[in-house]
Amino acid sequence: MAMLSRADLGSVWPFQHDSVWVEEYLDSPGSIYSDLHVGMFMWQRGDGPRGEAVFPEKTSQKARAIAWDLGLTKALPGWQALTDASASVYTYYAPYLGANLSKAGVLPTYYEKAYELYGNEVYAITAELAVALQILHEWVEAVPPQDRIEQGIYADVLTRFESATSMDQILEADLTYLADILRGELSLWRGGGLNTFGIREIPTPLRIARVAAAFATSQGGFRACKADGSHDPQYAGAIPEQTQTPICPTDATDRAVYRWYRALREKQLHRPASEIDDMARAARLVDAFADIKPAWAGAFSGKALDWSNHAEIIEAQVAVAGDPARDTELDFYRLVERANLIICRSSTR
């Protein structure tokens, strides 16, 4: 943010309310299908966010990085979800399904495994499992075997999921561990990192929403999107919270898809047991993940500091009461890092 200036980005300024960013960056702020403002963003095919640094050098890239991180972009195939960067996704799926996985940075392996083991009756939660598996995969790939246990990375959990053909082969502790991974990632944000396809990461809550959207587009009778990923006005909804009329997720902004996912999650968690064919299977997943709070607030207001203080207190209590077998130095250093960030923000406010 320190590298930005009013001359670079029009009237926007780094420390302003979320609604100001929306008004400044979106061409039609009232529409979930709005494009970025054409006067500020001349987005061309191939000019996506792949490989950009945390602070891109070009002014246009700075602006796009902010729009990307704030959930103001879409997942249109070949544009904000680059097909050449994630060809494996598009080999097996329709463009409007694969584009969601591409932007979420989730490999087909984990999308399919989550579906295979837990189905799609509560797919808002199944999406959370898929993202947690992807995160664990990334940790395993990034850390040498001899250092994994010390850092709380249990590759055996990933191996069990990858080889499982039934949920009976998955331990309750495995689901609990993956849910804990997701909780941790939901409290962090590493701006500028690249996902598994080499595309700039989006915040974890938005990743989950995009995977849930992939599940939604695979449902029978889905007609909200055209073949090219754009929304079909005849069938596509315009209000994310009205889940009975599906939106077209590839043509909607990330934050609109997130709104839809939150509404869908609430609805699916309150489905009567009589409407779920395999309640035992769904219950295991829900028991592990239901109490996760996938909160995301866009550009934070000043109140975020107060919220984060509460979060630190809760995390400290969890650490004190934690399972020593699963506690790691990495967890401790994360708590220290976040506490230091709060102290620095408090001293400069």
pLDDT tens digits along 226-244: 988 899 999 999 999 999 9
Q: pLDDT band at residue 344, thresholds of 50, 70 and 90?
A: very low
Q: pLDDT band at residue 266, thresholds of 50, 70 and 90?
A: very high
| Strand residues in 7-68 grouped as ranges (E) | none
- The 10s digit of each residue's pLDDT in 4-26 is 444 444 454 556 778 888 988 99
Best CA proximity match to 10, nearest among 62, 71, 74, 70: 62
Best CA proximity match to 195, nearest among 261, 134, 151, 144: 134
pTM of this prediction?
A: 0.79
Residue 96 has pLDDT above 60, yes or no: yes
Residue 97 has pLDDT above 70, yes or no: yes
Q: What is residue 81's predicted lDDT score, i.e. its pLDDT?
A: 63
Q: What is the DSSP letter of 167?
A: G
Whole-angstrom distance, CA of residue 217 vs CA of residue 237: 13
Q: pLDDT band at residue 279, thresholds of 50, 70 and 90?
A: confident
Whole-angstrom distance, CA of residue 66 vs CA of residue 48: 13
Best CA proximity match to 24, nearest among 302, 301, 299, 305: 299
Average pLDDT in the chain: 80
Q: What is residue 139's predicted lDDT score, i.e. its pLDDT?
A: 96
Q: Supply the angle between the helices 172-186 and 123-142 in degrees, to the nearest 10.
A: 80
Q: What is residue 316's predicted lDDT score, i.e. its pLDDT?
A: 58
Whole-angstrom distance, CA of residue 286 vs CA of residue 256: 24
Residue 174 Cα distances to 106, 243, 326, angstroms: 19, 31, 12
Amino acid at 344: C
- Higher pLDDT residue, 58 or 133? 133
Contact 125, 211 (CB under 8 A): no
- The 10s digit of each residue's pLDDT in 321-337 is 555 444 455 555 555 55
Q: What is residue 3's predicted lDDT score, i.e. its pLDDT?
A: 46
* For range 53-70, the mean pLDDT: 71
Best CA proximity match to 85, nearest among 49, 57, 40, 129: 49
Sequence-distant (≥ 6) Cβ neighbours of residue 306 within 8 angstroms: none
Whole-angstrom distance, CA of residue 246 vs CA of residue 225: 9
